[in-house]
Amino acid sequence: MKETPVPRVVTCRTCGKPVAWIPENTYRPFCSERCRSIDLGAWAAEEYRVPEQSKPLPDEQ
């Protein structure tokens, strides 16, 4: 009886490809650096979408 370690497989959040959750995969939970940048870019875009009118007015008199 031989035990084979089965890596946990997750789904790439960007493209939906199965990604093995292994230490060698530095881009997990993404399949590649490209997918990781796409997701981080989308996240950053959401963060920067701040309503302009909520900003305090500059103190110009």
**Residue 14 lies near Zn ion (rule: CB under 5 A):** yes
Q: What SS3 state is found at 10? A: strand
**Which of positions 16-45 make contact with Zn ion (CB under 5 A)?**
17, 31, 35
Nearer to Zn ion, 27 or 45 (CB): 27
* DSSP per residue, 16-41: --EEEE-TT-TTTTSSSHHHHHHHHH
Q: How many residues bind Zn ion (CB under 5 A)?
A: 6
Tokens of 21: 């959750």
**Residues found near Zn ion in the complex (CB under 5 A):** 12, 14-15, 17, 31, 35
